[in-house]
Amino acid sequence: MPTATQISMVPVVVDNEKCIADKGCRTCIDVCPLDVLWIDEKTGKAHMRYDECWYCMPCEADCPTDAVTVNIPYLLR
């Protein structure tokens, strides 16, 4: 069965200027209960890879540099 790749606007945004993942930080990735934040191979920064978010906010609350913003997923806004 062939599959397609669909795009989806993700609720969590990381400010690449502020993110210090390149210095080894993984805090938001560690704490996310849904495991949807990963390192973006292109930028070396954290990003939301899967649109499966409970908008619960540990990622934003625990980020040491205030780089994370959690928005309400578009379908619920």
CA–CA gap between residue 59 and residue 63 (Å, rounded): 6
14 binds ligand SF4, rule: CB under 6 A: yes
Tokens of 18: 């502020």
Among 7, 9, 23, 77, binds other proteins (CB under 8 A): 77
Which residues inside 39-58 make contact with other proteins, applying CB under 8 A?
A: 49-50, 52-58
Per rule CB under 6 A, is residue 10 in the interface with ligand SF4? no
Residue 61 touches other proteins, criterion: CB under 8 A: yes
Cβ distance 69 to 59 under 8 Å? no
